[in-house]
Amino acid sequence: MSRLTRREKEILEYLKQEPMISQEELAAKLQISRSAAAVHISNLMRKGYILGRGYIFNERSGILVIGKVWLEIEVDCDKPEKSSGRIKVRYGGIGYDLVSELSEFKTETTLLTVLGRDEVGDQVFEKLSQKGINTNHILRESASSTAKKVIVKNHQDSVLEVNDSGIHDHLNQSLLETKEELIRTSQVVLIDGTLPFQVIDFILSKTEKYNILTSVIGCSLNLLQQRNRFSCQQLFLVCRQEELERLTKGGFQENDPENMISVCRKLVKEGLNAFVVLLRDQRVVLATKDDVGYIPVLPSQAVRSPLSLLAGIAAGLASGYGMRPAVRRALGPRLPGKQKKEKRFSLTTQGM
Phi/psi class of residue 31: alpha, beta or left (left: φ > 0; alpha: ψ in -120 to 50)?
left
- Crossing angle between the packed helical segments 94-103 and 119-130, to the nearest 10 degrees: 30
pLDDT tens digit sequence for 309-322: 999 999 999 988 89
21-25, 168-172, 264-268: the lowest-pLDDT one = 21-25
Class of domain 63-330: alpha beta
Across the range 80-100, mean pLDDT stands at: 86
Higher-confidence residue of 340 and 105: namely 105
36-40, 208-212, 270-274: the lowest-pLDDT one = 36-40
**70/167 Cα distance (integer angstroms):** 10
pLDDT tens digit sequence for 287-303: 999 989 888 777 666 67
Class of domain 6-46: mainly alpha
- Crossing angle between the packed helical segments 323-330 and 306-318, to the nearest 10 degrees: 130
Is the pLDDT confidence value at 57 over 70? no
Which pairing describes strands 63-66 and 188-192: parallel, antiparallel, or unpaired? Answer: parallel
Query: Which residues, other chains included, contact 138 with Cβ-Cβ below 8 Å and sequence gap of 6+?
Result: 111, 112, 113, 114, 115, 125, 128
pLDDT of residue 218: 95
Burial class (CB in 10 A: 0-12, 13-18, 19+), 91: buried
pLDDT of residue 2: 61
Query: Which residues, other chains included, contact 45 with Cβ-Cβ below 8 Å and sequence gap of 6+?
Result: 51, 52
Across the range 241-265, mean pLDDT stands at: 82
pLDDT of residue 345: 52
Residue ranges per structural domain of the chain? 6-46, 63-330
pLDDT of residue 351: 42
**352/348 Cα distance (integer angstroms):** 10
DSSP 84: E
> What mean pLDDT value characterizes the chain?
86
Measured CA to CA in angstroms, residue 262 lies from 57, 134, 234 at distances of 42, 41, 21
Is the pLDDT confidence value at 331 over 70? yes
Is the pLDDT confidence value at 241 over 80? yes
pLDDT-derived band at 341 (thresholds 50, 70, 90) equals low
pLDDT tens digit sequence for 106-148: 888 999 999 999 999 999 999 999 999 999 999 999 999 999 9
